[in-house]
Amino acid sequence: MKPEDLKSPFRWEQRRVLFQDRVLYVPDYYDRYDEFSFPGWDDPAFFGNHNPVNVEYCSGNGAWVAGKAAENPAINWVAVEQQFVRARKIWSKIKNHNLNNLIVICGEAATATSHYFTSESINEVYINFPDPWPKQRHAKNRLIRPSFIQDVWRILQKGKRWTFVTDDPDYSELLLEEMGSCAGFSSCYPAPHYVTDYPGYGTSYFDQLWREKGKLIRYHQFQKQAP
């Protein structure tokens, strides 16, 4: 199936939270998120099993997460992507490769997480190449901020990890600064608290793009600690 085969299920003025055909729509500029009751990942409408659930934020066109879902059928995967034009590319991969262990959340990461991710329900979290929003006036748009870090801590199971990948050294330093003030996580790597080589991690559009441009990729990993 082509990405264009997935049509938006509602017009802007009719927008609502809706799970349909492996896509959970969490619209922007909406004030009735509580009207949707999330049934849990093991509900038959979602995964219908108790397998571990891994989440990738900033999934783009889904190359990385689709590859992981195909390689790891005993793990459930959630791809979070705000842009519909990208989310439907992930949906297309689900359909074409029969990835029943992958769903897409089409919505803003922090909003979807705070409203619908239950505490200690996630096995691993991945954030791959988020938009760094380098200008200070756009800082409010950055995914990495204290409230989101606290939510990642809340949804992760005890002792589990989240991995953050970026080509932007300034965003890397911002992340390390924010994480340094958070007692709930510890870095899995010694100083400088990242590595530039992660065999077997997988690849994506942005990974290939930045490598072709000669950029250095930084991999950060943190483990959930007691509060």
Active site positions, annotated = 131
**What dihedral do alpha carbons 48, 60, 25, 143 form, nearest 10°?**
100
DSSP of 169-197, one letter per residue?
HHHHHHHHHHHHT-TTEEESS-TTT-BS-
In degrees and rounded to multiples of 5, residue 160 shows phi and psi of -85, 170
Residue 44 tokens read as 């038959």
Residue 147 CA to residue 9 CA, distance in Å, equals 30
Residue 150 tokens read as 């606290």
